[in-house]
Amino acid sequence: MREVFQQSLDEVRVRLVEISELVSEAIEKATKAFGMSDVALAEEVIDNDPVIDEKAVALDELAIDILARQQPVASDLRTVVSALRISASLERMGDIAEHIAQLTRMRFPDRAIPKGLKGTFTKMGEIDVNVAHKLTRLLDTRDLELAEEIRNEDDKLDDLHVAVFEKVLSDSWQGEAGATVDATLASRYHERFGDHAVSVAKKIVYLATGDWVGSDDAD
Amino acid sequence: MREVFQQSLDEVRVRLVEISELVSEAIEKATKAFGMSDVALAEEVIDNDPVIDEKAVALDELAIDILARQQPVASDLRTVVSALRISASLERMGDIAEHIAQLTRMRFPDRAIPKGLKGTFTKMGEIDVNVAHKLTRLLDTRDLELAEEIRNEDDKLDDLHVAVFEKVLSDSWQGEAGATVDATLASRYHERFGDHAVSVAKKIVYLATGDWVGSDDAD
């Protein structure tokens, strides 16, 4: 029984890593499309989002099946319940990549990145991609140092999010209302992506150590 | 055993209703504070959000305890797993009420509602409050007509969300960048509140009927 259960847990982990890889690919393409106004790439992200959604639903079904058949208790139970929550966060991260792609498509053939913020959004996009890769590795290896690194990257995202607002509210800002809307939404999406990654990282740390690190703003 | 389990399920339901009532109160105060620039009321919402968070965590612990001790299967298992997800959505709705309150506090003593959008945001606030009340009744009574009503209210929110962007992007818009940022964020918060309510409503319909109604954009 224990062996069967271990196999089930391994399967859950493999699937979480797979979904996280798809999310990494989505955010990589979405931020690239956003930066280069590449509408074909943006549409690829939008078209692929249902794959992430389906894989998250399938993982939930597997987790519920494990609960029903193997009736785990204690830390095993928490691992399976956490998988349900992690899959919800990953699915949401995929949605955010899709939203960034939709902004790109909506503005095409114009640029979605407002003038004067190209550098900031390039940096935010790079950090989101970096965070997604670290999260995939964290889910795969359970190397908890990666959780700490994700938190640090998220702090940088928060700083850049503030910087976007400072720019938009400064005297030097000459963007029209449309550019202000785009900057506000894009910045919020990039920042939320990091929040969700931190939320997943915390759950993994909690499973490994029993320590819950601070409050959570991303479920 | 069945009787004990039924008592546990009743307890879960009572607690979900209780959290939903707190969320209703939070969104009611937050939208009122937003409309009237009432910073004291906004601070009350912000101060109370941790109570919602704690009750959601306590409910999750109860659900995990039920899974461990009573090892439900089939539809009973789905009910308990759904409670975990519903509590996450309610907790997130509380966060959104807090975000609306924070916008109010950030702009005080100025008005957070940009000129020309007072009517639209008043309407969005009323619908959010309405949705929260319907959701509480749905959780309590499982009257599935309420789920349909929540979906209809959410459609209105989506229309108003589009109307905010149309206004902001129109020639008549004279708001400065700060007003545009506020309108964008506030509209997004109000609209997301409805998405989460629809997400919860769908889960309840699914539990009652086994039918999954369309895609979900709010987890």
The model's pLDDT over B143-172, given as tens digits with 9 standing for 90+, comes to 999 999 999 999 999 999 999 999 999 999
Number of domains in chain B: 1
Would you say A91 and A55 are in contact if contact means Cβ atoms under 8 Å apart?
no
Both tokens of A158, joined, read 């928060």
Among the partner residues B53, B68, B178, nearest to A73 by beta-carbon distance: B68
Report the range of poorest mean pLDDT among A12-16, A71-75, A184-188.
Answer: A71-75
User: Mean pLDDT, to the nearest integer, of A22-45?
Assistant: 97
| DSSP symbol at A174 | -
| Cβ-defined contact of A215 to B53 (cutoff 8 Å) | yes
Which residue of chain A is at minimal alpha-carbon distance from B66?
A: A73
Chain B: nearest CA to A169, how far in angstroms? 6
Which residue in the set A88, A173, A184 is minimally distant from B219, CB to CB? A88
Residues 6+ apart with CB under 8 A from B202: B147, B212, B213, B214, B216
From chain B residues 163-192, the ones with a CB under 8 A of any chain A CB are: 165, 168-169, 173, 175, 177-178, 180-181, 184-185, 188
A78 touches chain B (CB under 8 A): yes
- In this prediction the ipTM stands at 0.91
CA distance B74 to chain A (A): 7
**What is the CB neighbour count within 10 angstroms for residue A71?**
18
Match 């997604």 to its residue by tokens.
Answer: A132
Nearest residue in chain A measured CA to CA from B188: A185
With respect to residue A16, please indicate whether it lies within any of the assigned structural domains.
yes
Distance (Å) of CA A99 to CA A27, A182, A199: 10, 11, 20
Residue A198 lies in a domain: yes
Cis omega before residue A114 (within 30°)? no
- Look at residues B63, B58, B97, B91 and name the one whose alpha carbon lies nearest to residue B78: B63
Task: Give the one of B84, B175, B178 whose C-beta lies nearest to A81's C-beta.
Answer: B84
pLDDT at A70: 93
B117 in any annotated domain: yes
In sign, the C-alpha dihedral spanning B191, B194, B200, B205 is: negative
- What is the per-residue pLDDT across A185-207, written as a single tens digit (0 to 9) for each? 999 999 999 999 999 999 999 98
Least confident of A3-7, A156-160, A211-215: A211-215
Chain B CB within 8 Å of residue A219 CB: yes
The whole-angstrom distance between B92's CA and the closest CA on chain A is: 6
Separation of CA A38 from chain center: 21
Question: In this structure, how many other beta carbons lie within 10 angstroms of the beta carbon of residue B151?
Answer: 18
Q: What angle do CA B58, A203, B94 make, to 5 degrees?
A: 50
Q: Is the pLDDT of residue A181 over 50?
A: yes
Per-residue DSSP letters for B31-72? Answer: HHHHHHT-HHHHHHHHHHHHHHHHHHHHHHHHHHHHHHHH--
Running DSSP on this structure, what letter comes out for residue B172? T
Rounded Cα–Cα distance for residues B115 and B111 (Å): 9
Q: Give the pLDDT band (50/70/90) at residue A210.
A: confident
On average, the pLDDT of chain A sits at 94
Give the other-Cβ count within 10 Å of A112's Cβ. Answer: 25
Neighbouring residues of B173: CB distance < 8 A, sequence distance ≥ 6: A177, B116, B167, B180
Give just the sign of the alpha carbon dihedral B25, B28, B34, B37. negative
In-domain check, residue B214: no
A207 touches chain B (CB under 8 A): no
Give the nearest chain A residue to B91 (CA atoms): A219
Q: Tally A–B CB contacts below 8 A.
A: 68
Best CA proximity match to A135, nearest among A171, A90, A172, A77: A90
Task: Report, as an integer, the average pLDDT of A44-67.
Answer: 96
| pLDDT value, residue A189 | 97
Q: Using a CB-CB distance cutoff of 8 angstroms, which residues of chain A are in contact with residue B168?
A: 177, 181
* Residue from the list A68, A73, A88 with its beta carbon closest to the beta carbon of B77: A68
CB contact under 8 A, B168 and A181: yes
What is the residue-level pLDDT of chain B in tens, covering all 219 positions? Answer: 688 899 999 999 999 999 999 999 999 999 999 999 999 999 999 999 999 999 999 999 999 999 999 999 999 999 999 999 999 999 999 999 999 999 999 988 888 899 899 999 999 999 999 999 999 999 999 999 999 999 999 999 999 999 999 999 999 999 999 999 999 999 999 999 999 999 999 999 998 887 665 545 544
Report whether pLDDT(A216) > 80: no
**In terms of residue numbers, what domain contains A161?**
2-209
Q: Do B84 and A85 touch (CB under 8 A)?
A: yes
Residue B85 contacts A where some CB pair is shorter than 8 Å:
yes
Q: CA quadruple A185, A191, A193, A196: dihedral positive or negative?
A: negative
What pLDDT does residue A214 have? 52
The domain that holds B172 is classified in CATH as: 1.20.58.220
Entry field: residues in chain B:
219
Q: Is B74 left (phi over 0), alpha (psi -120 to 50) or beta?
A: left
pLDDT number for residue B217:
54
Identify whether B196 is part of a domain.
yes
pTM: 0.94
For residue B215, list chain A residues with Cβ-Cβ distance below 8 A.
Answer: 53
Residue A111: per-residue pLDDT: 87
* Beta-carbon separation of B85 and A84 below 8 A: yes
Are the Cβ atoms of B74 and A68 closer than 8 angstroms? yes
B51 Cβ under 8 Å from any chain A Cβ: no
List, for residues A1-12, the tens digit of each pLDDT value. Answer: 688 899 999 999
A88 touches chain B (CB under 8 A): yes
Compute the nearest-CA separation of A95 from chain B (Å).
8
Where do we find the tokens 């249902």?
Answer: A50
Look up tokens 């003038």; give the residue.
Answer: A115
Which is nearest to A146 in space by CA: A155, A154, A138, A136? A138
Q: Which of A68, A84, A168 sits opposite B181 (nearest CB)?
A: A168
Average pLDDT on A161-182 reads 94
